[in-house]
Amino acid sequence: MFRLWLHWMLGAICFGSHVIAYNVLLCLPPIMILWCSPIFGASMVQDRDLNEYSPSLSRTGKQLSCSHQLCKSTANCKGPEEPCPYIVQYKSDDTASSGFLIEDVLHLTSASKNSTPSSVQASVVFGCGRKQSGGYLEGAAPDGVMGLGPGEISVPSVLAKAGMIQNSFSLCFDDNGSGRILFGDQGNLAQHYTPFLPAAGKYVNYFVGVERFCVGSSCLKQTGFQALVDSGSSFTYVPTEVYKKIVFEFDKQVNATRINIQQSPWKYCYNVSSWELLSIPTIKLMFPLNQSFLVHKPVFSESLNQKYTIFCLTLLRTDDDYGVIGQNFMVGYRMVFDWENLKLGWSIANCEDNGNGKRVNHTPSNNGSTSQLPTSEQQSIPNAHAVAPATARNTPSKSSVAASRQIPLLLCLTSSLLLLMRLLILSC
């Protein structure tokens, strides 16, 4: 077994027809499976030409049977040797995915402070989609959805139970929407952190406590709430009453003309001319122990011509009693989901390196060591709760990241918004 402890981290990569993931696209919901779709190719929002995964063409892939310890949908099985099915039903847009669980090899690149990068392989379980609907038919997940939650079938959990990494990983999103996943990364000593919070007495998702929101130099009273840190949400949501306080203060501090853009998800958009001095207030979240989180890009802006710039506050309201910290607030940070120590860490980062100041070679070798799936005993997680793919549709939205939000495709949404903005300027 190839063990990677302490300073070792694993970065997911995309290459050939393997079941892999390197390009960290926006809209990656941390549900409990990674599924491959026979419908989508791998040409959207990619920096290399990839092939679609096909179980029949894989030399290492095999279906999980209903008798496998990771198969949680035995009620839908006709016999113990039948393929293990999965069904994921999302909350909105009639979005769903169903198919069968597959075991195959994930190709990874290891990185440490004191050695050169090398290739390693690990057995993982993912859902191979036979039927998709809703957002998946509109390009919401060009290459599939990677499971990053704390459930026992998610990729970080499987790698940790196999003894390859610490039960922790990091995400880093660039301004251009790409980024990096590092499995086993527990961050650095200089990072800020806040503890994860239990939901209904159990640690089931990445919940944190926000004490207050700060807009500019004004830290607002009664703006505390619990938030789900969700890489599967393109945008950030806050409870309605908190939202009203934030946007009121933001609008008061902005020295620009507010405009209404139809079909835009954002309600606080502004038009500023080139000869006006634009001043956009900062947005900051305050966590316990005075840990601050400065949002690098709280607005979406576009210069449509030499005369006008339009920008929108990328904050949305929710009727739920908890909020969601989405990808737009994570940009520019190395976000560390340390399940080993039950805390969320963050530090300013350049997502081009591997966290140690080194760039990683992304080409896997054919002779890397392979780690098998953990045994039933290794898979057992004391005091933990996993949402199985086959039962996710019956799980309340507050305990299921997958069901709590739709899967918006940021690229398409912002492109549509740009078109609306251009039409607005042309009509002026």
Instruction: Please report the pLDDT score of residue 234 as a whole number.
Output: 85
What is the spatial distance between Cα 335 and Cα 76, in angstroms, rounded to a whole number?
A: 38
Phi-psi domain of 187 (left: phi exceeds 0; alpha: psi -120 through 50; beta: other): left
pLDDT tens-digit map of 235-293: 999 999 999 999 999 999 998 889 988 888 899 999 887 666 678 899 999 999 999 99
pLDDT tens-digit map of 25-67: 333 332 223 333 332 222 233 445 556 778 888 899 999 999 9
Residue 78 DSSP code: S
Place of tokens 């599924």: 35
Instruction: Please report the pLDDT score of residue 83 as a whole number.
Output: 92
What is the spatial distance between Cα 211 and Cα 201, in angstroms, rounded to a whole number?
A: 20
Phi–psi pair at 208, nearest 5 degrees = -135, 165
Locate 42 and state its tokens.
């791998």
| Helices (H), ranges, 208-352 | 240-253, 327-330
Q: Which residue has better confidence, 138 or 82?
A: 82
Q: Which residue has better confidence, 151 or 117?
A: 151
| Helices (H), ranges, 148-199 | 155-161
Do residues 178 and 189 touch, judged by C-beta distance below 8 A? no
State yes or no: pLDDT of 402 exceeds 70: no
In this structure, whether the domain defined by 9-185+353-413 belongs to CATH 3.30.70.370 is answered with: no
Nearest to 308 by CA among 282, 278, 263: 278
Instruction: Please report the pLDDT score of residue 41 as a whole number.
Output: 28
pLDDT tens-digit map of 194-247: 999 998 889 999 999 999 999 999 999 999 999 999 988 889 999 999 999 999
Residues of the chain with CATH 2.40.70.10: 9-185+353-413, 193-325
- Round to the nearest angstrom and report the end-to-end CA distance of the chain: 66
Rank 117-126, 320-329, 349-358 by mean pLDDT and report only the highest.
320-329
DSSP SS3 for 260: coil
CATH topology of domain 193-325: Cathepsin D, subunit A; domain 1 (2.40.70)
What is the spatial distance between Cα 300 and Cα 414, in angstroms, rounded to a whole number?
A: 9
Confidence band for 97, pLDDT divided at 50, 70 and 90: confident
State yes or no: pLDDT of 312 exceeds 90: yes
Confidence band for 69, pLDDT divided at 50, 70 and 90: confident
What is the spatial distance between Cα 166 and Cα 163, in angstroms, rounded to a whole number?
A: 8
**305 burial class (0-12, 13-18, 19+ CB within 10 angstroms)?**
exposed
Confidence band for 143, pLDDT divided at 50, 70 and 90: low
Is 0.85 topped by the overall pTM?
no
pLDDT tens-digit map of 317-326: 999 999 999 9
| Helices (H), ranges, 7-135 | none
